[in-house]
Amino acid sequence: DTGVSQDPRHKITKRGQNVTFRCDPISEHNRLYWYRQTLGQGPEFLTYFQNEAQLEKSRLLSDRFSAERPKGSFSTLEIQRTEQGDSAMYLCASSLKGLGSTDTQYFGPGTRLTVL
Amino acid sequence: EDQVTQSPEALRLQEGESSSLNCSYTVSGLRGLFWYRQDPGKGPEFLFTLYSAGEEKEKERLKATLTKKESFLHITAPKPEDSATYLCAVQGGNQAGTALIFGKGTTLSVSS
């Protein structure tokens, strides 16, 4: 399967701990996005990369959140000093943006974070 | 501010009972309107992209249409396997990047 993959699928942690999620985009996709989704809501944009450059960050992305995409391939999202309000589904998406191509974002299965 | 409103929040249909889901949007400079399907506990699955008013796209029992203010997802003769949450999202010209602005979704339940 060549879709977007995310690891882990589920994470339970205690308040104050750090967690890190990984996303592997569709091969050759140059854009990678992170979204957060809580129950009954649509996904909310957090940040995006074009290749290895982080080009946009939402105001939702507090200083406890950091994302990287070394070498423009996989990406990691780290949350430091987790809070109960961080409990959500964290979604990764990727797209191929080039001349004449659409910018359709394809999503992974998500990582469900529960902060106790 | 870019905004997406979906209605109804929930819809219950009998198998074979056709209906439509609505997505109203406010955006400066629409670059694209997207429909996704999301099953419980899974990530959104891409269905359609629409770019300009008057455009229509079809896939099996689903048909998406677009006007300058709203989009409709028409479901013809639905089956139980069409039960899911359907999300609408827009990509606007005000965004420096490519963030999608999502509505809250319509949860569709189809019973046999």
pLDDT, one tens digit per residue, over A45-87 is: 999 999 999 988 998 889 999 999 998 899 999 999 999 999 9
DSSP annotation of B9 reads S
Q: What distance in Å separates residue A6's CA from the closest CA in chain B?
A: 10
Using the beta-carbon criterion (under 8 Å), do B43 and A95 form an inter-chain contact?
no
Q: What are phi and psi of A71, to 5 degrees?
A: 65, 10
Question: What is the pLDDT confidence band of residue A102, given thresholds at 50, 70 and 90?
Answer: low
Query: Is residue A43 a contact partner of residue B44, using CB atoms and an 8 Å limit?
Result: yes
Q: How far apart are CA A61 and CA A78, in angstroms?
A: 11
**Which of chain B's residues have a Cβ under 8 Å away from the Cβ of A95?**
98
**Which of chain A's residues have a Cβ under 8 Å away from the Cβ of B46?**
104-107
Using the beta-carbon criterion (under 8 Å), do B43 and A109 form an inter-chain contact?
yes
Indicate whether B98 pLDDT > 90: no
Q: How far apart are CA A102 and CA B71, in angstroms?
A: 19
Q: Which of B34, B36, B43 sits opposite A110 (nearest CB)?
A: B43
